[in-house]
Amino acid sequence: MSAADPSLWDAEAPAFDEAPDHGLLDEGVRAAWRELLLGVLPPAPAGVADLGCGTATLALLLGEEGYRVEALDFSPAMVALATAKLDAAPPTVRSLVTVREGNAADPGLAPASVDVVLCRHVLWALPDPVSVVRRWVAALRPGGRLVLVEGDWSTGAGLTARRCAQIVGESCTRVEVRRLPEPALWGREVTDERYLVVALP
Ligand SMILES: C[S@@+](CC[C@H](N)C(=O)[O-])C[C@H]1O[C@@H](n2cnc3c(N)ncnc32)[C@H](O)[C@@H]1O
């Protein structure tokens, strides 16, 4: 089973939110992600496509902040959990966030239809990432941006920041990489490479 196989992620889904950075159940970790994302996103109610949304933790966090979020994932189990969380959210959030099954590599977004493509911990798992990022950039409105969070993890999985910047640089003119070593984001000390990429076409 590879990371490109939805059944792997179906198996991960039941315990997925137990990791501090996944479920954001700890208020301190949640606040750290809120601050990080709000610091790099355009103001609400910008439109965000959250591709490979998992259980939609980030999508709901942004919905709470007034963003319009279209979230998708190819794992039926992740989408089921995301939908359950969305159903339990306040009506204001439910009116701003949608969740559906879909392929992050080819999400079917109309050209120039979103302000932000947000993707956390997914690009590393996608075949042909250069073509994928090109597709994402085509979905951005003028003034839009890519916001990616990736890592080169101690597990052996992932993507180096250098390689990620090269991939994104194939279709973006401004690519900024920020390292994310802060324990507040992960709920513990980390020693592997974790980073944020903000890129403009
Ligand atoms: C490590 S999890 C990250 C989830 C979420 N972005 C987050 O940060 O909480 C990776 C997610 O990407 C999804 N995924 C992987 N490849 C995908 C693809 N081609 N299309 C849609 N979702 C995909 C998996 O199902 C899984 O939910």
Taking a C-beta distance cutoff of 8 angstroms, is the pair 190, 179 a contact?
Answer: no
Give 52 Cα–ligand 1 centroid separation in angstroms. Answer: 3
pLDDT of residue 1: 57
> Quick one: average pLDDT of 166-183?
98
Q: What percent of the chain has pLDDT over 90?
A: 98
Atom of ligand 1 nearest to the CA of 57: 9
Q: Is 97 in the pocket of ligand 1 (CB under 6 A)?
A: no
Q: Is 56 in the pocket of ligand 1 (CB under 6 A)?
A: no
Dihedral sign, CA of 131, 133, 138, 142? Answer: negative
Per-residue pLDDT for 159 more than 60? yes
Give 76 Cα–ligand 1 centroid separation in angstroms. Answer: 11
pLDDT of residue 109: 97
How many angstroms separate the CA atoms of 100 and 71, rounded? 6
Give 75 Cα–ligand 1 centroid separation in angstroms. Answer: 8
Taking a C-beta distance cutoff of 8 angstroms, is the pair 114, 139 a contact?
Answer: yes
pLDDT of residue 180: 98
Q: Is 23 in the pocket of ligand 1 (CB under 6 A)?
A: no
Q: What is the tens place of the pLDDT at every residue in 46-87?
A: 999 999 999 999 999 999 999 999 999 999 999 999 999 999
Arithmetic mean of pLDDT over the chain: 97
Helix and strand numbers, DSSP H then E, in the chain:
9, 7
Give 184 Cα–ligand 1 centroid separation in angstroms. Answer: 22
* Closest-CA residue to 58 (of 87, 38, 44, 77): 38
Q: Is 123 in the pocket of ligand 1 (CB under 6 A)?
A: no
Q: Is 135 in the pocket of ligand 1 (CB under 6 A)?
A: no
Q: Is 33 in the pocket of ligand 1 (CB under 6 A)?
A: no
CA angle 199, 113, 175 (to 5 degrees): 5
